Amino acid sequence: MKIKAFLLLLLVGIISAQPANMSPREALCPVITLLRQVGVFVAIIMLSWAGISFMTSGSDPLKHKEAQKRLEYVIIGILILIMAFYIVARMFAGVNVLSGGDCPWV
């Protein structure tokens, strides 16, 4: 519960620190950047954990199966992260996903 409150306050602080004459698109840029960076960090940690689990599973089939499931979940999570980024970028008209567009997070 404390983590949710902290994240909410962090997001509100990021949005409220922006000038009043900003468009919603410009105000969302720092929020999306923060969420993307957190997602990439978590994906790297989980991918490392799955790899270490594979390496330390040895000949135990139960640990091997658990590590394999963990790796599948990490790959699915990375795909969801990529697709979410792409969908959010496409929601804003005129954003070119490949060249960066107007926003540094794209």
Q: How confident is the model at residue 47 (pLDDT cuts 50, 70, 90)?
A: very high
CA distances in angstroms from 3 to 8, 9, 72, 83, 94, listed in the order given: 9, 10, 27, 26, 35
Inside any domain, residue 63: yes
pLDDT exceeds cutoff 60 at 41: yes
What does the chain come to in residues? 106
Inside any domain, residue 14: yes
71-94: pLDDT as tens digits: 999 999 999 988 887 777 777 655
Cβ contacts of residue 31 below 8 Å, gap of 6+? 11, 14, 15
Boundaries of domain holding 11: 2-91
Inside any domain, residue 10: yes
Per-residue pLDDT, 101: 45
pTM strictly above 0.75: no
Inside any domain, residue 44: yes
Q: List, in sequence order, the alpha helices (H) in 1-106.
A: 2-16, 24-56, 61-91
CA dihedral 56, 57, 58, 64 (to 10 degrees): -150
Inside any domain, residue 8: yes
Inside any domain, residue 105: no
Inside any domain, residue 58: yes
pLDDT exceeds cutoff 90 at 66: yes
Inside any domain, residue 27: yes
> How many domains is the chain built from?
1
Give dist(CA 81, CA 64) in Å, integer. 26
